[in-house]
Amino acid sequence: MPPAPADVLGSKPLDGGWGWMVVIGAHISIGFAYSTPKALSIFFKDIQEDLQAGYSEIAWISSIMLAAMYAGGPVSSMLVNRFGSRPIVIIGGLMCGVSMVTASFGSSIAYLYFCIGVIGGCGLAFNLNASLTIISKYFLARRPLANGLAMAGSPVFLCFLAPLNQYLLGTYGWRGSLLILGGLMLNCCVAGALMRPVCKPLSCAPQQNVDRPNKCKTKIKGSCVKNTKKFVDLSFFRDRGFVIYLIGNVMFIFGAYAPIVFLSTYAVSQGVEKYSAAYLLSIMGFVDMFVRPGTGLVANSKWIRPRIQYFFSFAMVFNGTCHLLCPLMKSYTLLVVYAVFFGVGFGMVFALIFECLMDLMGNQRFPSAVGLVTIMECFPMLLGPPAAGLLVDIFGDYKYLFLMCGSVITAGGLFLFVMNIYNYHMLEKEKRAKDRERNQTNIENQEQMSISAAEMEQPEAEETEMSAAQQDPESAETK
């Protein structure tokens, strides 16, 4: 979700002060938003046995939650623009807490779909987008640092939520664990309370009360229409670079989350103890925590920056290759190695995924483009984990899950690599054609100017000849 304009209030952001408290609040809310759908996978085996559900059915819980979180992005952004970040984050925290508490009393898988997936996912959407927006109003020069600290909440929370959920599961069962997790997620309300709105500067202009209600209604209506067009701009599908990026991104999202959802249960099926299996997610999150800023530094170098689209392709291929090799990892030591490389690949991709879009679209078109990409990502995010779980139900083996995800992601990376070569070649070709057309136009303009100048000079020459002819008879008579 793109941040709000830096100077939205007409004054320079503070770049510090209470803004650091806002960063702490954003760290908490973003941490819960990104880590909860992953950490919930710890409970899936027990929920599956209790409710007599299949692997594909249980995977829909995280899929619906992630899809609702991404699909709710544009709606959350419009609400933030209307009411501010603080009330939206508080409402989102309440929705998350209520969703987990009510889910703990569930007796059917469909009930969990609605409570955790729909209500919880919408609550996470409110937390995520409002937190990113408020940071842009408090920071300008230090915004990259503030955003980095806030986004670090995702791997940090995953590191401690995975083993915590395993402990709660062993002590209280999945129902009691969801009840306690719901109470923990109410801390998002505290995080929202920290997001104090920036005070608007007082205006010295006299206020005009005539026809003010009508003007306000017109302004609100126009703002809603403008926001809708901003986030659903179908003209981007005419942009070749955007379409190439979108196809590759959709292929990655389809296979990105299923390995996370089933990693713990796969480790248990290989004879790994439950607590050790839960720590695999913590290891992945810990590595991800350091890989994201490191990838950002590498991508900002003068050698990689002009080739960032190819770097993104490499990150996807690396990620997919890790999944393709996972079925060979039979011992816990090898699974730890897989978790480390999985964290490296996952961190690289998500450090570059929006930077590459900004590189293609530019700063002005990026907010509209990312809104459309977020909506399109909902579909592969919704279908990916259930499709992987269906393979486990059909074949009774997890290796087909990792092979499918690895193949799709690797194919997406190779697609981006080849198509970016083609795209840059076509852009260069179109640029040369435009240059030739521009040069041809300049030549034609110069020729037209020369003809016009010649036409202007011709009447002058005729006038000179006529005046000379009139003078000749007079000179003859004089002689």
String of DSSP letters for 73-119:
HHHHHHHHHHH-HHHHHHHHHHHHHHHHHHHTT--SHHHHIIIIIII
* 205 found inside a domain: no
Q: What token pair was written down for 289? A: 């925590």
* 469 found inside a domain: no
pLDDT of residue 334: 92
- Global model pTM greater than 0.85: no
* Statement to judge: residues 284 and 383 lie in one domain: yes
Q: What token pair was written down for 393? A: 């139900």
User: What is the enclosing helix (H) or strand (E) of 173?
Assistant: helix 153-185
393: Cβ contacts below 8 Å, ≥ 6 apart: 54, 55, 56
The domain of 330 spans 235-434
CA angle, corner 272, sides to 267 and 276, nearest 5?
A: 90
Q: Is 317 helix (H, G, I), strand (E, B) or coil?
A: helix
Question: Which of 403, 380, 374, 394 lies closest to 73, judged by CA?
Answer: 374
User: 173 burial class (0-12, 13-18, 19+ CB within 10 angstroms)?
Assistant: middle
* Statement to judge: residues 382 and 282 lie in one domain: yes
411: Cβ contacts below 8 Å, ≥ 6 apart: 251, 320
Reported as a single tens digit per residue, the pLDDT across 85-141 is 889 999 999 999 999 999 999 888 899 999 999 999 999 988 887 887 787 777 776
Q: How far is CA 210 from CA 80, 147, 216, in A?
A: 28, 43, 11
* Statement to judge: residues 164 and 301 lie in one domain: no
* Statement to judge: residues 171 and 309 lie in one domain: no
* 106 found inside a domain: yes
Q: Max CA-CA distance within the chain?
A: 134
pLDDT of residue 443: 81
* 219 found inside a domain: no
CA distance 460 to 117: 85
* Statement to judge: residues 268 and 129 lie in one domain: no
Q: Is 141 helix (H, G, I), strand (E, B) or coil?
A: coil
Termini Cα distance of the chain = 96
Q: What token pair was written down for 156? A: 């940090």
Q: Which of 172, 198, 224 is the last residue of a domain?
A: 198
* 102 found inside a domain: yes
Other CB atoms within 10 Å distance of the CB of residue 268: 15
The single-letter code of the amino acid at 115 is C
Reported as a single tens digit per residue, the pLDDT across 438-456 is 888 878 778 777 777 766 7
CA angle, corner 21, sides to 151 and 143, nearest 5?
A: 50
Number of domains, the chain: 2
* 446 found inside a domain: no
The single-letter code of the amino acid at 420 is N
pLDDT < 70: residue spans in the chain = 1-15, 141-145, 199-233, 363-364, 366-367, 454-455, 457-479
* Statement to judge: residues 192 and 254 lie in one domain: no
Q: Which of 198, 227, 248 is the last residue of a domain?
A: 198
* Statement to judge: residues 415 and 298 lie in one domain: yes
The alpha-carbon radius of gyration of the chain (Å, integer) is 30
* Statement to judge: residues 185 and 314 lie in one domain: no
Question: Which of 74, 80, 160, 72 lies closest to 117, judged by CA?
Answer: 72
pLDDT of residue 4: 39
CATH number at residue 52: 1.20.1250.20
* Statement to judge: residues 429 and 364 lie in one domain: yes
DSSP string, 278-340: HHHHHHHHHHHHHHHHHHHHHHTSTTTGGGHHHHHHHHHHHHHHHHHHGGG--SHHHHHHHHH
Q: Is 221 helix (H, G, I), strand (E, B) or coil?
A: helix
* Statement to judge: residues 189 and 254 lie in one domain: no
CB 5 within 8 A of CB 367: no
pLDDT of residue 464: 65
341: Cβ contacts below 8 Å, ≥ 6 apart: 318, 322
CA distance 355 to 332: 35
The single-letter code of the amino acid at 387 is A
* Statement to judge: residues 174 and 240 lie in one domain: no
User: Does residue 273 come out as left (phi exceeding 0), alpha (psi in the -120 to 50 range) or beta?
Assistant: beta
CA distance 468 to 463: 8
Question: Which of 458, 405, 358 lies closest to 263, judged by CA?
Answer: 405
Q: What token pair was written down for 397? A: 């083996």
* 210 found inside a domain: no
CA distance 64 to 70: 10
* Statement to judge: residues 318 and 180 lie in one domain: no
CA distance 185 to 116: 12
